[in-house]
Amino acid sequence: MDERKKRVLITGAGGQLGSELKDIWESDESFDVIFVNRETLPLDELDLLYKRVLSHKADYIIHAAAYTAVDKAESEPQQADLINHLASIEIAKAAKDGNAKLIFISTDYVFQGDSANPLSEDSTTNPINVYGQSKLAAELGIQTILPQAIIIRTSWVYSIYGKNFVKTMIQLMKTKDEIQVVADQEGSPTYALDLAEAIKNIIVSELWVGGIYHYSNEGKTTWYNFAEEIKRLANLNCQINPVSTSEFPTAAKRPAFSLLSKEKIKHTFKLAIPDWQKSLKEMLFKLENHT
């Protein structure tokens, strides 16, 4: 029997996560995958969004697009709310009415950062910046409309694609003798390729269990130690000086502690998550050999 292939709609196709999803999904002919970006699905055209999403007749929607300029969001709160919150609500409504399963990507910045232990999915949220507020508002709205949606909070995302901490550090370390990196914010990086594979595994497994999940690489670090590891693995020579958050002011506040506990996602979907150092090594190798 010629069964219709499952259709997957992926937003933010040009972003870090979207590009990794594209890499692992593009050549998979067992799914019909549609990638949309700012041109083909502009999230700020709110009144058209519901119909446009519905028209794709997707079985799964991976909503990876977002307003991710964390510092800029402080001076553009309405725009951040429009893209991250209100647009996600329209997508959730379309997913509900079109019978699509929705995966929404959220952030560790929904947390205040005063915990001493890895944060679980039911830890108290209290975002301290506009970006985090807009993502939390989306989470709450999506859960009301579509309780069966899967919401994955992730942290410190990097990839060979787009702009991120790893690529910025390499650039700085190649051009400067000395740099300063914040040493009092703890968390764990996420290689977007690992997250993309986890998302695909969830869909392929057909073990759909709605709710909030946490995903980052295993282990704990600070931005400073992360930078030291990048320097070591990339064989760079640059003095890295640890500084405190107060010495490195940014427009948006960041949580001092945002280490996510991954027990729920590992247990529910039988996922193995690589350590952050191992994934960083892989990414750097890919970056070196990427044309």
Ligand X SMILES: NC(=O)c1ccc[n+]([C@@H]2O[C@H](COP(=O)([O-])OP(=O)(O)OC[C@H]3O[C@@H](n4cnc5c(N)ncnc54)[C@H](OP(=O)(O)O)[C@@H]3O)[C@@H](O)[C@H]2O)c1
Among 8, 9, 10, 15, binds ligand X (CB under 6 A): 15
Catalytic, out of 131, 161, 215, 224 = 131
Q: Which stretch binds ligand X (CB under 6 A): 38-46, 120-128, 176-184, 196-204?
A: 38-46
Tell the burial category of 49 from Cβ atoms under 10 Å away from its Cβ (0-12, 13-18, 19+).
buried
Q: Is there a contact between 283 and 226 (Cβ–Cβ < 8 Å)?
A: no
Comparison of 40 and 244: residue with beta carbon closer to ligand X: 40
Coil vs helix vs strand at 104: strand
Residues whose CB is less than 8 angstroms from the CB of residue 28 and which lie 6 or more positions away in sequence, other chains included: none
Q: Which stretch binds ligand X (CB under 6 A): 11-19, 24-32, 118-126, 173-181?
A: 11-19
Query: Using CA atoms, how far apart are residues 107 and 110, in angstroms rounded to an integer?
Result: 6
Smallest distance from the beta carbon of 3 to ligand X, in angstroms?
Answer: 31
DSSP state of 66: -
Is 161 one of the annotated active-site residues of the chain? no
Tell the burial category of 92 from Cβ atoms under 10 Å away from its Cβ (0-12, 13-18, 19+).
buried
Of 153, 143, 11, give the one whose Cα is nearest residue 89: 143
Among 10, 66, 110, 273, binds ligand X (CB under 6 A): 66
Tell me, residue by residue from 71 to 90, as one string, x for binding to ligand X by CB under 6 A and - for no binding.
------------x-------
Count of residues that bind ligand X according to CB under 6 A? 25
Q: Which stretch binds ligand X (CB under 6 A): 62-70, 196-204, 229-237, 260-268?
A: 62-70
Comparison of 37 and 201: residue with beta carbon closer to ligand X: 37
Closest residue to ligand X using C-beta atoms: 15
Question: Which residues are identified as catalytic?
Answer: 131
